[in-house]
Amino acid sequence: MKWFVSFLPLLLWAGPPSILDLQPRGAQKGRPFKLVVTGKDLSGGARIDSTLPATFTSLALERGQMDGQAAVFLVEPKGDVPVGVYPIRVVTPDGISNVHLLTIGAFPELTEEESEPGSLPNRNDTIETAQPLPTANVTVNGKLRGAERDLYRVQAKAGEKKVFEVEARRSGSAIDPVIRVTDSQGKLLARSEDAALAGLDARLEVTFPAAGYYYVEVHDARFSTQAANFYRLKSGQFTYPTEIFPLGGRRGTKTPVMISGTQVVADFSGRTAQVNLPDAVTLPVTLAISDEPELDESAGRLSIPSVMNGRLSKPAEIDRYLLAVTPGQVLLFDMQARELGTSRIAGVITVRDTKGKKLASAGDTSILLGVNSVQFESRTAGDPYLRFVVPEGTTEIAVSVEDLAERGGPGFAYRLRTRISPHEFSVLVNTPQVNIPAGGSVAVPLIVERRGYNGPLQIMATKLPKGIRAEGGWVPEELIDPATGLTRTGSRKGVLVLSAEAEATLPMTELQLVAEATLPDGQKLSRPTRGLGLLVNVNGATAQGVVDRQRGITSPGLFEALPAATTTAPPATLEVTLAEQRMKAEGEEFVFRYQWRSRRTDLEWPGNLTAEMVNAADTRTIDFKPNPKDRSTGTFTITTTKNTMPTKYDVYVFGRLMGEEIPARPIQVQVKEVPASEVSTGQ
């Protein structure tokens, strides 16, 4: 028995907290409520960090709840909290958790009976077993467990109108909801999938033809099984917005916006801008923010730089704008519409000369295969962009915007941004937050989208707190095919490694990351990175080429930078050094030596590591050779070929220990282009 007592603590390593679920997922504004957070490592003085104006008081765990796997809080909202979604994060001395969204609504809240603890599955999946709803306005919190349908029974008078709306994607759920309303015979009266100004969420208004019982059905559009499977069904009589114009405004301004015929003033001075109808009970509408002058389509002309706010008001309408240009100029046109969730346009951008000859277009071709499209093309992100070089003899062009399916109407607004951009790029930080182990390291994955700039990039952290270090983040230049002028390899990712000194303590903060390029003329070009805010995975239909492909749910406007904190020391650290670099007949060999270090003597060292020469083509990691006398150390080799572009690369190495990914500090190597006379053919 003593053996178990002494051995068990060695297997436990308390890490940063993580959230799996919130209950409830929403609450009625103006009312206090109890919030139960479930997840991992939630003990040790857990507190809530949120933009929700409320006090969060820690409560004792209830029966059946395990310490570390649940935390309970009394939430007391302050004042008249606006209807909306608010981030909830748990903070402990061991770090920060991921974010989940909590919705504050206007109606009394109910819970789907099938979602109550201990309830039988498929309890309300038929007309005969449908859960009754009150006639008054109400919000029902439900869940879809796989390929099921949840049915609710409502009683209506002849000619009575009711609105039914599902909040799911906008609240951080992976459900792609559908609403169907039928009569008692199963006859379909109305159906909604993607509603105006609601993204992938559903909303419909029904006028009931006769007095009696009717049935509201909620299901997932693909009948998929999701981990984040909750939804919020609003039922009642209420107004809601269906159109908005413009879709955004300039940073630092207060701009009039028309939302369903009502003028409101949008404030663009904060991280995000949102508007809603006065006294609205629906979620607010998010607007885009730009740093360029804003134009209205009535002007008929573009300027550089600018954002044109337009709308295809009727089917098959094509908006055309003239633009004065100079031969050799490199212009970038990009549209914001569909990806904002406030427009239905499948946009097409076309450039023609003054005689009508087509010079270039975007949005009217099939999805390109490759790293870029895998990361950025999907049902929920499909706005076009066009990089255009002005040909000789051209001093004016016509730029047109249209819908690929020749649709139009109030919900077909767009924003067309025009810039001179011979060198453009953006960098996405592909993690919502990081916890940096004291005395250890953590990797920050990065995704680079190139829009004209093909040179090297250095991603770095600025104004780092004391005791925190950033290394790596190098992205090499693209290899250009001289025959076509196109890139042959994709340098579209990077890894930045953050490390903390053993005694460093970093309370939750936001680290500023920037990407810096050196242009051909020596000028430095910097761009702040973009963040995810949160990340909710969507199961199924995510493979490239699937018609209904959907990417994970993010909320990049939640934070200005990368949320970070320090966490507990790892069980061990990993050190990697370059031991030897030698040329072979087909390329180079880089031999590395690794060393695990720990004060503990009970650890079983892994037999291999994961190593990558980031963005290098045709490399292999081979010959892992742990030292037979001391398996905490050993060597491995990375080989290149003639197809590996000669340039600098970051080598990123990590190992798995006690279920954790432990990275080494990155090493930068130079792949050489050596004359054949200097290549050794020895083994």
Q: What is the pLDDT of residue 206?
A: 97
Q: Which of 634, 581, 643 is nearest to 606 (CA)?
A: 634
Do 310 and 203 lie in one domain? The reply is no
Look at residue 363 and tell me if it is in a domain: yes
Spatial neighbors of 546 by CB under 8 A, at least 6 apart, are none
> Which CATH number does the domain housing residue 434 bear?
2.60.40
Do 563 and 578 lie in one domain? The reply is no
Residues 422-457: pLDDT tens digits?
888 999 999 999 999 999 999 999 999 988 888 999
Q: What is the pLDDT of residue 63?
A: 83
Do 376 and 449 lie in one domain? The reply is no
Average model confidence (pLDDT) across the chain: 89
Do 435 and 560 lie in one domain? The reply is yes
Q: What is the pLDDT of residue 377?
A: 38
Do 127 and 86 lie in one domain? The reply is no
DSSP state letter for 345: -
Look at residue 627 and tell me if it is in a domain: yes
Do 537 and 589 lie in one domain? The reply is no
The token duo for 625 is 């050779």
Domain boundary among 72, 101, 130: 101
Look at residue 535 and tell me if it is in a domain: yes
Do 307 and 411 lie in one domain? The reply is yes
Look at residue 280 and tell me if it is in a domain: no
Q: Which has more confidence, 603 or 482?
A: 603
170: three-class secondary structure by DSSP: helix
Range with lowest mean pLDDT among 115-129, 297-311, 538-552, 556-570: 538-552
Assess whether the previous peptide bond of 24 is cis (omega < 30° from 0): yes
Across the range 308-316, mean pLDDT stands at 97
Q: What is the pLDDT of residue 115?
A: 87
Q: What is the pLDDT of residue 38?
A: 96
Q: Per DSSP, what are the bridge partners of residue 259?
A: 244, 262
Look at residue 246 and tell me if it is in a domain: no
- Measured CA to CA, the distance from residue 414 to residue 110 in angstroms comes to 38
Q: Is the pLDDT of residue 678 over 60?
A: no
Do 594 and 669 lie in one domain? The reply is yes
Look at residue 270 and tell me if it is in a domain: no
H or E element at residue 307: strand 306-311
Across the range 659-675, mean pLDDT stands at 89
Do 348 and 380 lie in one domain? The reply is yes
Q: What band does 317 get if pLDDT is binned at 50, 70 and 90?
A: very high
Q: What is the pLDDT of residue 478?
A: 87
Domain boundary among 420, 448, 476: 420
Residues 208-249: pLDDT tens digits?
999 999 999 999 999 999 999 999 999 999 999 999 999 999
Q: Which of 495, 460, 494, 496 is nearest to 477 (CA)?
A: 494
- Measured CA to CA, the distance from residue 73 to residue 86 in angstroms comes to 16
Do 362 and 319 lie in one domain? The reply is yes
Across the range 568-592, mean pLDDT stands at 94
Residue 180 C-alpha from the chain's centroid: 29
User: 493-513 as b/e, with b when 16 or more CB fall inside 10 Å?
Assistant: bbbbbbbbeeebebeeeebeb
- Measured CA to CA, the distance from residue 108 to residue 141 in angstroms comes to 11
Side chain identity at residue 402, one-letter code = E
Do 339 and 307 lie in one domain? The reply is yes
Q: pTM for the full model?
A: 0.89
Do 59 and 132 lie in one domain? The reply is no
Q: What is the pLDDT of residue 489?
A: 53
> Which CATH number does the domain housing residue 155 bear?
2.60.120.380
Q: Is the pLDDT of residue 499 over 90?
A: yes
| Domain of 501, in residue numbers | 425-567
User: 450-471 as b/e, with b when 16 or more CB fall inside 10 Å?
Assistant: bbebebbbbbbbeeeeebbebb
Look at residue 578 and tell me if it is in a domain: yes
Domain boundary among 548, 567, 586: 567
> Which CATH number does the domain housing residue 582 bear?
2.60.40.10
Q: What is the pLDDT of residue 6?
A: 30
Q: What is the pLDDT of residue 600?
A: 87
107: three-class secondary structure by DSSP: coil
Look at residue 253 and tell me if it is in a domain: no
Domain count, the chain: 5
